[in-house]
Structure 1
Amino acid sequence: MYTGGVHGMSTVTSYNFDLIKGVELQLSDVAKTSTARGKIKKYAITDLKNRAARGEMIFPEYLDEITIDNERPFYFTGSGIAIKFFEYEVAPYAAGMPEVKVPNKIFR
């Protein structure tokens, strides 16, 4: 989508399904409690801060403001989930749409 300025804005939408039940899964179906989602947020913040410390293009001053809820795009990996962040949310446009891979043991 082009909204003016130097470049357009991208978005991502994820669709995750329980193929046995035939229902779409939300993040709250995977990380069932607010405590579990809080652990995902803490893990993501730590991972992104570590990336910033290594010189990656991350905005560490904005990380405490991220939300981990049913609006957050995610997908399943072999060992957990990957959560996506939008352009400018945690990094500059040039960094793309960062993601953090969160192992199951963090939120289960």
Structure 2
Amino acid sequence: MKMDPESEKGFLDSPEVRDMPEGDVIMYCTSWCNDCKKAKIWLEEHHIDFVEIDVNDFPEAGKLVRSWANGNLVTPTFNIQGNIVVDFDVEKLKAVFSIEE
């Protein structure tokens, strides 16, 4: 089987590392994670603006999450202005955002 050399150009020329989005509230997630979906709904219900970064799309994001989660790739993980919350822990999120319910 022979590949079209033109089809390889974009793949080979594309950089491996892309700049990650930035924001005050970042949720590191995966597309298949049910807790990530729940966390997204929770953030939206509380009118909290956030940036969603899929760790599968950004290898550097996965490295960050592992550094915060004892070497494990735990999603969702949040970086809230430097406050790290590993996993969808509603009580910790309420405390960081000063939400009383």
What TM-score do the two structures reach when normalised by structure 1? Answer: 0.29
Q: Which has the higher helix share?
A: 2
What TM-score do the two structures reach when normalised by structure 2? Answer: 0.30
